[in-house]
Amino acid sequence: MIRVEDATKLYGRAGADGAAVHALNGVNLEIKAGEFVSIMGPSGCGKSTLLHVLGGLDRLSSGGIFLDDVAIHTLDENGLTDLRRRKIGFIFQFFNLLPTLTVEENVRLPGLLQMVSGVDIDERSAKLLESVGLAHRARHRLHQLSGGEMQRAALARALLLRPPVLLADEPTGNLDSEASAGVVKLFRQIGETHGTTIVMVTHSREVAASAHRMITMRDGRVVA
């Protein structure tokens, strides 16, 4: 499903001043369809950068990324936008929810924006809110939620359109161990029911261990 070949991402300009950062420094990786992979590694080792380039939010400096055999490093901006809409669900550390909308409005939003037909957005959104434990908060506005509740709302929203690929950056970062276990369980269910390919960055060894496979990064490389 996902193949990364000798990917590098250089921020800044190489030179004597040491300002350049090799956020990715020759990453090679293959992830099968339906696989649930976790990525661990010290702060600054390139985990978020890798998710961004996988999701077409940022570009490589060199190397290639293939998603379903589409060479996404060769796509132009329109191509990348289209790819993100059709294939990718994102869950980020800073969740991009809209504070003035209610929880259920936030979750339904991707469905409204894309005007999907033949899908009962309201019903699906209600089920997702139930499974992330937020059914009782559906009509609350975002700013009335705790950090962990917002994170779970972001998760429900990312899953609404059942993207084939789900990219999650520390999706349990603000959650206690019980809520974390709930999110991980939901990921596994989504994977099993819909064959979703999931790449999840986490700092928690326990959360990471619940994936099918754990990848460790260091200094812009996959080391294990």
Ligand X SMILES: Nc1ncnc2c1ncn2[C@@H]1O[C@H](COP(=O)(O)OP(=O)(O)OP(=O)(O)O)[C@@H](O)[C@H]1O
Q: Which is nearer to Mg ion, 45 or 161 (CB)?
A: 45
CB 34 to ligand X: min, Å: 25
Evaluate whether 165 touches 1 at the Cβ level (below 8 Å): yes
Binding at 171: pick from Mg ion, ligand X, none (beta carbon under 5-8 Å per type): none
Q: How far is the CB of 16 from ligand X (least distance, A)?
A: 18
Q: Are 119 and 108 in contact (CB under 8 A)?
A: no
- Which is nearer to Mg ion, 48 or 172 (by Cβ)? 48
Judged by the rule CB under 5 A, the positions of this chain that interact with Mg ion are 48
The CA–CA distances, whole Å, from 136 to 133, 149, 158 equal 8, 11, 19
Question: Which CB sits closer to ligand X, 48 or 197?
Answer: 48
195, interface contact from Mg ion, ligand X, none, CB < 5-8 Å by kind: none
d(CA 165, CA 4): 15
**Closest CB 77 distance from Mg ion, rounded Å:** 24
Q: Does 23 bind ligand X (CB under 6 A)?
A: yes
Strand ranges for 102-220 from DSSP E: 165-169, 197-201, 213-218
Q: Which of ligand X, Mg ion, none interacts with 74 (beta carbon under 5 to 8 A by kind)?
A: none
Region 43-72 residues binding ligand X, contact defined as CB under 6 A: 43-49
* 48 or 202: CB nearest Mg ion: 48
C-alpha separations of 45 from 19, 54, 217 in Å: 16, 16, 6
Minimum distance of Mg ion from residue 49's CB (angstroms): 8
Strands 21-31, 62-67: pairing is: unpaired
Decide: is 199 part of the binding site for ligand X (CB under 6 A). no
Is residue 99 packed enough to be buried (19+ CB in 10 Å), middle (13-18) or exposed (0-12)?
Answer: exposed
Q: Does 21 bind ligand X (CB under 6 A)?
A: yes
Residue with smaller CB distance to ligand X, 11 or 122: 11
Nearer to ligand X, 45 or 121 (CB): 45
Per-residue mark of binding to ligand X, 90-119 (x: CB under 6 A): ------------------------------
Distance from C-alpha of 74 to C-alpha of 186, rounded to nearest angstrom:
33
Longest alpha-carbon distance in the chain: 58
The answer to whether the CB of 65 falls within 8 A of the CB of 72 is: yes
Q: Residues interacting with ligand X, by CB under 6 A? A: 11-12, 21, 23, 41, 43-49
